[in-house]
Structure 1
Amino acid sequence: MSYFMYDVMGGAIDEPDPEAMRQVLDGLANADDEHPDVSLSHESGWCLSAFRSGLLIWENTEDGSVAPVEMREVTREEILRLFQLLAAGDIASIAALPWRR
């Protein structure tokens, strides 16, 4: 399975391991209005975007008919867990969570 991350400055990291994911999440401390999030995208088109506030957005960037959904106040450890699920291609487990439109 192929996946990649964008850090807070938009730099791409191919198939990061959990430690690299953790480092990218640490970069949220430097987020600003122009660079507010980090994300992990899977080859299926599914993407998780995380913001410093704990906002997490789940969307399919390749299917415009699927509306993005969100969760708020998500902990850093939960974000890391979900990034790892997405990297493994476990779309169903992420989709089953209590997302809000």
Structure 2
Amino acid sequence: MTYFMYDVQGNAVDEPDTDTVRKLVQEALASTDTENPDVSLTHESGWSLSAYAGGLLLWENVEDEETAPGSLDQVTEPEVLRLFTLLADGEVAQIEALGWQRAA
């Protein structure tokens, strides 16, 4: 399965290994950069997770405008890494099953 990440500078990284994912997530969660405040992982299915410093996590399908994005707040670094790994593996249903807060 194909996936890619954007780092906090907006650079794309194709199919990063586990260590690279960890490094990129740690950089994002520690970042104080307001221009590029997140790191994201997007799966070939269109599903994407974006993690922000402070623990905000956004879940959306970038190819389906009808599906409302969801968010979780105060997500710990280990949980972000776990969810990014699930998405890289294509385990969309497991991620979708979490208690995402959806905009009305």
Q: Give the TM-score, by structure 2 length.
A: 0.94
What is the aligned-residue identity percentage?
56
| In 1, Cα distance between equivalents of 2:45 and 2:8 | 22
Query: The residue matched to 1:38 in structure 2 has which SS?
Result: strand
Q: How does 1:5-84 map to 2 (within 5 A)?
A: 5-28=5-28, 29-84=30-85
Q: Which moved more, 1:26-35 or 1:52-61?
A: 26-35
Q: 1:61 to 1:31 in 2, by over 3 A?
A: farther
Cα distance, 1:17 vs structure 2: 1.2
Task: Supply the distance in 1 between the matched residues of 2:32 and 2:21 (Cα, whole angstroms).
Answer: 16
Q: How far, CA to CA, are the matches of 1:8 and 1:52 in structure 2? A: 11
Cα deviation, 1:67-88, whole Å, max 9, x if unaligned, reads 1000000000000000000000
What is the CA distance between 1:27 and its match in structure 2?
Answer: 1.5
Residue ranges of structure 1 left out of the alignment (5+ in a row): none
Give the gaps of 5 or more residues in structure 2.
none
TM-score (norm 1): 0.97
Q: CA deviation at 1:47?
A: 0.0
Closer, same or farther: CA 37–46 of 1 in aligned 2, 3 Å = same
1:30, CA displacement in angstroms?
A: 2.8
Paired residue total: 101
Alpha-carbon shift at residue 24 of structure 1 (Å): 0.3
Q: Is the 8 A contact 2:43 2:87 kept in 1?
A: yes
